[in-house]
């Protein structure tokens, strides 16, 4: 694992526990297990021309359910969601002037008995394992290359237009000098101004 990615992952690990200890003021009881319905997390690390993003959101925010996909319609919803999440610049719109391109995008569904379309397993043990599976979450990792990172002055979150179940994102930004800022972006206020992150 490249050092830059390892440091980024460390930054994510340090940032996200803080979010868990600070529930939204207007809905303090919404926590369910490790996540709050309607609320995801996005961490952004900017280093020179490279922008790393790590995203997490409950399955209910993205596809409307958190259990294993059972019907053809649910399986189609997961496939469609993966395709949409694989296009970060359509969800998290950066200024055109910054000249950002996607270098890599990895999307996975964690928990919820996700079988990636390989059937339902065999025997009682497989069924028990599926029944005991935790709520599902979508995870994505993105690497962007920006020609003019100094022009990264705002992000428009079309994410909320794409996924109607999503209500908020806790955003942590780690700048090139190691400084970190935290923000909450909501459906009602879907734009985040970026200052001093490059």
Q: Is residue 198 part of a domain?
A: no
Confidence tier at 175 by pLDDT (50, 70, 90): confident
Distance of CA 30 to the CA centre of its chain: 19
26 belongs to a structural domain: no
Mean pLDDT of 21-36: 38
Host H or E run for residue 125: helix 123-132
Residue 120 CA to residue 194 CA, distance in Å, equals: 45
Higher pLDDT: 29 or 96? It is 96
Give the C-alpha separation, 194 to 1, whole Å: 28
Question: What per-residue confidence (pLDDT) applies to 5?
Answer: 40
The strand pair at 168-174 and 39-47 is best described as parallel
Q: Which of 42, 138, 43, 133 is nearest to 82 (CA)?
A: 138
Mind listing the pLDDT tens digit for each residue in 61-108? 999 999 989 999 999 999 999 999 999 999 999 999 999 999 999 999
Domain contains 9: yes
- Tell me, yes or no, whether 133 lies in a domain: yes
Q: Is 14 domain-assigned?
A: yes
Which residue segment(s) compose the domain that 7 sits in?
3-21+31-193
At residue 8 the predicted structure's pLDDT band, cuts being 50, 70 and 90, is very low
Q: Does residue 49 register a pLDDT over 70?
A: yes
Cα 125 from Cα 153, distance rounded (Å): 52
Q: For the segment 96-151, what is each residue's pLDDT rounded down to a tens digit?
A: 999 999 999 999 999 875 444 333 444 444 444 444 446 899 999 999 999 999 99
Cβ count near 62 (within 10 Å): 27
The whole-angstrom separation of Cα 87 and Cα 69 is 22
Residue 180 covered by a domain:
yes
> Has residue 189 been placed in a domain?
yes
Residues 6+ apart with CB under 8 A from 72: none
Q: How far apart are CA 71 and CA 118, in angstroms?
A: 14
Cα 58 to the center of its chain, rounded Å: 9
Domain count, the chain: 1
Residues 6+ apart with CB under 8 A from 175: 46, 181, 196, 197, 198
Q: 3-state SS string over 69-104?
A: CCCHHHHHHHHHHHHHHCCHHHHEECCHHHCEEEEE
- Report pLDDT for 20: 32
Q: Is residue 80 a part of any domain in this protein?
A: yes
Q: Of 64, 100, 104, 102, which Cα lies nearest the Cα of 81?
A: 64
Asked if the model's pLDDT at residue 26 lies above 70, the reply is: no
């Amino acid at each position: 694992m490249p050092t830059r990615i390892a440091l980024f992952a460390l930054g994510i690990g340090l940032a996200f526990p803080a979010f868990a200890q600070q529930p939204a003021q207007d809905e303090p009881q919404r926590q369910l297990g490790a996540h709050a319905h309607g609320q995801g997390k996005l961490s952004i690390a900017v280093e020179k021309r490279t922008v790393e993003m790590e995203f997490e959101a409950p399955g209910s925010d993205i596809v409307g359910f958190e259990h294993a996909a059972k019907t053809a319609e649910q399986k189609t919803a997961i496939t469609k969601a993966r395709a949409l999440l694989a296009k970060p610049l359509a969800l998290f719109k950066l200024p055109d002037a910054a000249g950002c391109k996607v270098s890599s995008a990895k999307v996975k569904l964690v928990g919820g008995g996700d079988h990636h379309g390989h059937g339902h397993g065999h025997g009682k043990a497989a069924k028990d394992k599926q029944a005991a599976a935790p709520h599902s979450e979508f995870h994505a990792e993105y690497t962007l290359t920006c020609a003019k990172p100094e022009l990264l002055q705002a992000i428009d979150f079309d994410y909320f237009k794409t996924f109607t179940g999503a209500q908020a994102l806790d955003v942590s930004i780690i700048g090139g000098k190691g400084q970190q800022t935290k923000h909450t972006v909501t459906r009602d206020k879907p734009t985040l101004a970026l200052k001093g992150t490059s």
